[in-house]
Amino acid sequence: MDLLESLRSFCAVAAERSFTRGAERCGQPQPVASRRIAGLEERLGVPLLIRTSRRVELTPDGERLQPLAQELLARADRIERLFADDGPVLVLGVPPGVTARARAAIRRGFAGREVVFVADDPAGRAELLQAGSAHLALVPVAPDGAEICVPLGIAQHSPAGTPRAFFLDQLRRPVRERAHPPRALHLLAEDDVPAVRDRLRDAVFAAGLRADQLIISTPAAEAWTRVHERGDVVVASAAEADREELAWSPPGRLDLARGYRLAGPAELTAGDRAALLGRLASGLGGRVRGRDAA
């Protein structure tokens, strides 16, 4: 069994919560991805995924493996690139949520040049640039200085009568539910940056919520599970909420957005840069500032 390729299949399926989309993401036929993950589970002696008719969920062991597998794959890719001599390579550090469709469009836009995607959180992408392991990466910046903006809202279950906007004071439980744990607001690692985190902390305080109701840098799989398990909510893009089959509402009295700037030493023509930004924005469910989403 090829351990690296099995881990690559596992990470893709875990990220997409779907064998079909996961196989597409890593460029493998679905039966091959399924066999590789089954072989990995047999080798490790534990189930990693829970397969249902509609979606895929991570087991606790799968949640433990996912970040370690992502780190190992990133290092393996860097080793291969270090000794590659088969033509020009463009290494892009991107957020984990860039769609497979956008990745394919980006590769088509750089015909004759191999494009390698390294998905990581903001701190990891900064390390890639600092270490010279990526030619370009999307780095977080304040939305008013960003090249790409992705609107953020609240992902939640949608009971009947859910208002269009979600106000943070809705996280207070009614008297009849006071015996239950408080509903939490989860901030993913992608949004653990000052432009989002600090504004959200101020809003939580202003809404009179408990400090422990804002949970920062929750692992993504755990955050989404808590929505179904405990009625928690997650700060997310509309595309992320849709992928998790949850409702999405803009936050009431609060404007939140991810801001990104394309940084790195690689030199692109103005046309190539504009096209790359447009495809990245589309793949993240956002828009390029100053023009409509690509």
- Non-local (6+) Cβ contacts of 259 within 8 A are 140, 141, 142, 143, 144, 145, 146, 148, 149, 195
Question: pTM for the full model?
Answer: 0.71
For residues 92 and 115, is the Cβ–Cβ distance under 8 A?
Answer: yes
Nearest Cα to Cα of residue 106 among 279, 254, 230? 279
Residue-range domains of the chain with CATH: 1-74 (1.10.10.10), 84-149+258-294 (3.40.190.10), 153-255 (3.40.190.10)
56 beta partners: 51
Question: Do the beta carbons of residue 108 and residue 151 sit within 8 Å?
Answer: no
Residues paired with residue 92 on neighbouring β-strands, in sequence order? 117, 136
Residue in this structure with the two tokens 């989002």, named with its chain if needed: 196
In the three-class reduction of DSSP (H, G, I as helix; E, B as strand; rest coil), residue 283 is classed as helix
Q: What is the pLDDT of residue 293?
A: 40
pLDDT along the chain (294 residues), means of 10: 88 89 86 92 93 84 91 81 67 92 94 88 91 93 95 86 80 75 91 94 92 91 91 95 92 94 92 96 93 48
Q: What is the pLDDT of residue 94?
A: 96
Take residue 218 and report the two structure tokens written for it.
């929750």
Q: Which residue has the tokens 């009971």?
A: 159
- For strands 136-140 and 89-94, give the pairing: parallel
Rounded distance, CA 284 to CA 232, Å? 23
* pLDDT for res 81: 66
